[in-house]
Amino acid sequence: MFELVNDLVKGETYHVVQTSGFIEGDMIYLGGSFFRYWDNINSFQVHQRYYNFYRYVTKHEYYTKVKEKYDQTSLDIVLKRLVNEHFEW
């Protein structure tokens, strides 16, 4: 599974896709605007505004986020039923 990210972390591997839809593949972020392919030692510069960067998400991490969002939504529903939306201290 993939998650679209805006803030890149140095040393992490990202799935890079051009905004036009062409898939570049998996690349390692070196910092600044430099990347390299995971199996190559050559690095190159990428203009970040023309690309979308996706981070790999494990199933465990995905389901944890889904559960947290579900719990927050449930809590909001219960609080709205117990306390009026216009309630103020």
User: CB–CB of 14/5 below 8 Å?
Assistant: yes
Each residue's pLDDT, cut to its tens digit, for the chain (89 residues) gives: 888 888 888 888 888 888 887 877 788 888 888 888 767 777 777 777 888 889 988 999 999 999 999 999 999 888 888 887 676 66
Range of the domain at 25: 2-82
Q: Which of 40, 86, 22 is nearest to 13 (CA)?
A: 40
Q: What is the pTM of this model?
A: 0.66
Residue 10 lies in a domain: yes
Is 12 among the domain residues?
yes
Q: Which DSSP state fits 9?
A: -
Whether residue 7 lies inside any domain: the answer is: yes
In a domain, 42, yes or no: yes
Residue 74 lies in a domain: yes
Q: What is the pLDDT of residue 28?
A: 83
Query: How many domains are contained in the chain?
Result: 1
Assigned domain for 89 exists? no
**Collapsed DSSP state (helix, strand, coil) of residue 67:** helix
Q: What is the pLDDT of residue 89?
A: 60
> How many other CB atoms sit within 10 Å of the CB of residue 80?
11
> Is there a domain that residue 88 lies in?
no
Strands 34-37 and 13-18: unpaired
pLDDT of residue 30: 84
